[in-house]
Each structure stands twice: as C-alpha cells, then as structure tokens.
Amino acid sequence: MTGLINVNCDFNHQLSIKEFPYIVRWRDDRCKRCGQCLSVCPTGAIKPSVKSVRIVESQGQIPKPIVKTKVIHVIEQAKDMENYCTGCAMCQLVCPNDAIEPEFNPQHKFYTFKNKGGEPYKRGGRRNDPNPSTLDRIKFTRISMLTDPALDAGRHEFRVRTYLGRLLQPENLPLTTKNGLITIDREKEEFIPPVREIFPVMIGSMSVGALSPPMWEGLAMGVAYLNEVDGIPIVMCTGEGGVPPRLLRSRYLKYFVLQIASGYFGWDEIIHSLPHMVVDPAAIEIKYGQGAKPGDGGLLMAQKVIKLIAKIRGVPERVDLASPPTHQTKYSIEEAVAKMIQSMSMAFGFRVPVYPKISGTKTATAVLNNLARNPYAAALAIDGEDGGTGAAYNVSLDKMGHPIASNVRDCYLELVRQGRQNELPIIAGGGIGKKGNLASNTAALIMLGASAVQVGKYIMQATAECLGDEYNRCNLCNTGKCPRGIATQDPKLYRRLDSEKVAERLVEVIRACEMELKKIFAPMGRSTELPIGMSDALGIDDKDMAERLQINYVC
C-alpha cells in the first residue's frame, strides 16, 4: 500500500489525447528510431521518450518465466496546446518504415482549449468547413443535344478569355463611320479605359513575404511561361508587399497585378521604379478587404521579415508588419475611394486598370453601385468567406464573411438591372477549388455573373503540395514554420521547395484548367465568348439555393 501513496491520481488540469485534433499513431514494431519524424515536426508535437516496460521472458527448454524491467525508446505525443499535432503528416512523409502517421480525431475539443494566456487561436489557411461549398453543388445542366449540336473541345476554336478593365457602354463608344468602315472619333475626346484580355483564372494575391522566395519565384516563372510559351494570358496579383525590384524594371511586369493595401508596403520601391518601368503592370488592385478575415488587417510576423523582405517592403528587418484593418484615408467611398482609384490611375498615366477588392459582404451591392458610377473603377473583386490567408484569427476565418456565390449573383443581377453588366467586370474569389474542382467552380461563378476568378489556396495546394485543408490540417502559415517551405522565410524550410517544380506544376494546372473549362463550355454550345451570366445552364439540388441564385432546381 505504501507504493500507491506516491502515485499522482489528480489529472484534472491535464488534457487527454482525445482533446487533440490529431492523434499520432506510432508503431513500435516498425520504428527504427532514426529520429527523422522528430526533426521535421513543425510544432514539436512528438518527442522522444524512454519507458520502463515489464516483460516476461523464458529461456531454456523448460518454461521458466522471469519478469524483467526493460527501458525502451518511444515516440510520444505532446499533450499541451502549444505543441499540438496539426496533422501535417510530415512525420509520415519522412518515415522510412511507415511507422508513424497522424489520425484526425473528430471528437476533439481543440477550439475549447486553444486560447492559452487569453490569446485567441490564430492560424493560416481558410474556413474549416469540409462540406461541399455551394459552388461544388452546382451542376451544368443545359447540355446541347441534337437540337443544337454540342461543340468539340478538341476541334473547335475556343476563346477562354475575359477582360480585366472597365468596358464602355456600346452607346458611348466613340465610333464614327467613314467610307463604310468604322473608326474612332478622336474629336469626342471620350476617355477609353484601359482593358487587358486575360485568362479568366487569376492567381490571387499572395505577397512576397507571406510566401517564401522559391514559392513566389516559382509562381512568377510559371506565369511568364504560360504567357510567353503557351499563349495563356494569366495574370498574378502580388499581394501587399511589393515586387522584387528587378521584376519591376523587367518586361514581365505586364503579367502582374500590383496590390496596394492599407500598409502600403512595397509602394515606396514601386513608385521609385515608375520612371524605369519598361512595361505597365497588368492592373492595380486596391485591397480594402479580404474574404478570410473581413474587416481585419494584415500581419507579417517579425520572423518573416528577413533582409530581402525588409528591402522590398522598405522597412527595418525583424519587426512585425501590421497593415491596419482599413485604409487610414478611407472615410467615404464616394470621395476617398474614388480619389484613391483616380490617383492610382493617374500614377500610371491612365493606362492601367485600377480596381478595388473587398471581402464578401451583404453590402457588396452598395459598393458596386458606387463603383458603377466611377468611370475610373476598372472592376470589383469580391473575396468570399472561403478565401485563404497567411494569418488571421480563427474566429474571423470561420465565422466572418459572406459566401461568394450569392454575393456575385446579387452584384451581377444588380448590374443587369442597371444595364451595366458589360461595363464593370466582377472578379470572384474565395473557396474556388476547395474540393479540387478549379475549372467547374470557375465556370459556375462565371455563369452566375463573374467575369474572372481569383485563386490562391488551390494554387498553393496544387503547385507546392500545401498541406492545409478544411480539417484544420497544418494551417501553420502564420507561424513561419510552414513544413513545405511555402509560407516561410526560414531557409532551412524553404530549401525544401524547388521553384522550378512550382513553375512546372503551375503550367500543368492551368493547362488542365483550360481544357476542363472547354469541356464544360463545349457541351453547352459555348466557345467564342465566356458564358458570363448564362444562368440557364446551371442547376442545384436544393430548392432554396436555386431560388436564391435564380438558377434551376434539379434533382
């Protein structure tokens, strides 16, 4: 009895393994104790330990059991929320013997406990909702059959292109006829807004800084290849944080949308580069909001602000870079936003489309109406609630924002009501490709009324095997410990990523997407022009959703 007195039976303030989102399954019989799993675990969720085990042995011809105590080396899972297993499975990836893997625990109470020190849970990634999104539930139900032949995605000419920039109303085109041919009437002095013809999938804003050098460089190389070799005019948004100076002065700048956000990071360098630019950028995106964290600002943590990033952004090294939740000059959309759009237009000689990006919101149509009246606003980008981020409060990611489908639909129908659907393009973002369906999600948004889509998270997943998912797997982007080397500035981590392979994957992904888009448009008999607003082609197996989106209910 005396031995039991020293046993601690009070575990009340300790967490059991069942509280954790992922449980590490380690197999003693397979493990050769090489320690590779321990070296790659980004959170220290596993640790080596020694155990004293009781074994019964018998030697010799006559059974003669002997009880022994043996010390063995094991892998143990940490049971504190600072070192929780994120389920990234890097351990499994490096294990030579398949001796270890994390297993999702649906009964976890992670969110209940992940607030130590009164600090709410912050992470990267996107909304942790593994259910199919509205976009994934939409089907394409208008199939051209017999009365109108389906087109051939492999044979017919397809133009999977869209316009980035404000388009003049046909009635306002400064055209006149001379000798039976139309010509531009210069005497009218009508402002002709700049417009780019682009691939309808844009690479969403991910900054230099948030992304590691090889990741950003890989994407940029892929974008250039797609444009120059494949002839697919894809554009990529820089995110807030500037652009490497060499790129600013190169002819490749035309493939990039420069983002300006509330911190104005990187714009000192951009403004100083203006006289040296040999081409104009594709567009300027003014970020007012982000779907992943509506109403919240950006933050690049100090550990990511290395020398290169500090130089590009024009800031000291190793300091937290906070972008305020809102532009400090923004006190009214009618004046301040209009001025900002106009100022940015003016800076680039009115040769570059300038558009704002907002997070999905019930008030999107109000923003839209203001922009519709602003002749310099080139588009409206709306980022839905499923948009991704490098860092945000979990509550913002999971509970704030507006689904993109109905937001885009409302805005498009509002433009139709005003007869301006051909004037102000809507760019949709947030959750596209969440289930891997990049092309069908894109097509659904286009037929709901979007002119183009912005994709970030899917691109990271598809080109650099980003581990994050909607079961809160990994999502460590905010910590600088990205195990794939995508969202980190730690050379030890980003060395794992090969920029050439990222570029190669981007080319593959976009080529495949273009073919899939053709495979969607062809059976519906569309090829020459993007089927924007072709809502008669869409169906969904939910009556309320069908009614809300004004598309067909099918079952």
Residues binding another protein (CB under 8 A): 142, 144, 147-149, 151, 156-157, 159, 163, 167-171, 173, 175, 177, 180-184, 192, 195, 197, 416-422, 524-536
Residues 361 and 324: their CA atoms lie apart, in Å, by: 19
A 10 A CB-CB count for 271 gives: 11
**Minimum distance of another protein from residue 223's CB (angstroms):** 19
| SS3 at position 1 | coil
For another protein, give the closer residue by CB, 20 or 158.
158
For another protein, give the closer residue by CB, 108 or 420.
420
**Minimum distance of another protein from residue 38's CB (angstroms):** 56
For another protein, give the closer residue by CB, 163 or 252.
163
Nearest to residue 382, comparing CAs of 202, 544, 241, 510?
A: 202
Q: What is the CA radius of gyration of the chain?
A: 27
The secondary structure element, H or E, covering residue 399 is: helix 394-399
Taken in order 365, 369, 375, 376, is the CA torsion positive or negative? negative
For another protein, give the closer residue by CB, 130 or 149.
149
**Minimum distance of another protein from residue 373's CB (angstroms):** 16
Q: What is the DSSP letter of 377?
A: B
| SS3 at position 508 | helix
Alpha carbon of 501 to those of 230, 457, 463: distances in Å? 17, 17, 8
Say which residues have a Cβ less than 8 Å from residue 188's Cβ, sequence separation at least 6: 174
For another protein, give the closer residue by CB, 129 or 190.
190
Amino acid of residue 323: S
E strand spans, 204-265 = 236-237, 256-260
**Minimum distance of another protein from residue 408's CB (angstroms):** 15
**Minimum distance of another protein from residue 519's CB (angstroms):** 15
**Minimum distance of another protein from residue 199's CB (angstroms):** 13
For another protein, give the closer residue by CB, 192 or 310.
192
For another protein, give the closer residue by CB, 92 or 141.
141
**Minimum distance of another protein from residue 285's CB (angstroms):** 20
Structure tokens at 27: 């197999």
**Minimum distance of another protein from residue 148's CB (angstroms):** 4
For another protein, give the closer residue by CB, 25 or 159.
159
For another protein, give the closer residue by CB, 91 or 424.
424
Alpha carbon of 152 to those of 155, 518, 524: distances in Å? 5, 9, 10
Say which residues have a Cβ less than 8 Å from residue 130's Cβ, sequence separation at least 6: 469, 470, 471
For another protein, give the closer residue by CB, 150 or 333.
150
| SS3 at position 546 | helix
Please, are residues 473 and 88 in contact by the beta-carbon 8 Å criterion? yes
Nearest to residue 86, comparing CAs of 377, 466, 468, 464?
A: 468
Structure tokens at 199: 């691939």
Q: How many helices (H) and strands (E) does the chain have?
A: 18, 23
Please, are residues 104 and 114 in contact by the beta-carbon 8 Å criterion? no
Please, are residues 244 and 326 in contact by the beta-carbon 8 Å criterion? no
**Minimum distance of another protein from residue 551's CB (angstroms):** 10
For another protein, give the closer residue by CB, 15 or 150.
150
Residues 67 and 207: their CA atoms lie apart, in Å, by: 62
**Minimum distance of another protein from residue 526's CB (angstroms):** 5
**Minimum distance of another protein from residue 520's CB (angstroms):** 13
**Minimum distance of another protein from residue 138's CB (angstroms):** 15
Q: What is the DSSP letter of 211?
A: B
Reduced to 3 DSSP states, what percent helix, strand and coil does the chain have, rounded to the nearest 5? 35, 20, 45
For another protein, give the closer residue by CB, 124 or 200.
200
Structure tokens at 318: 């190793």
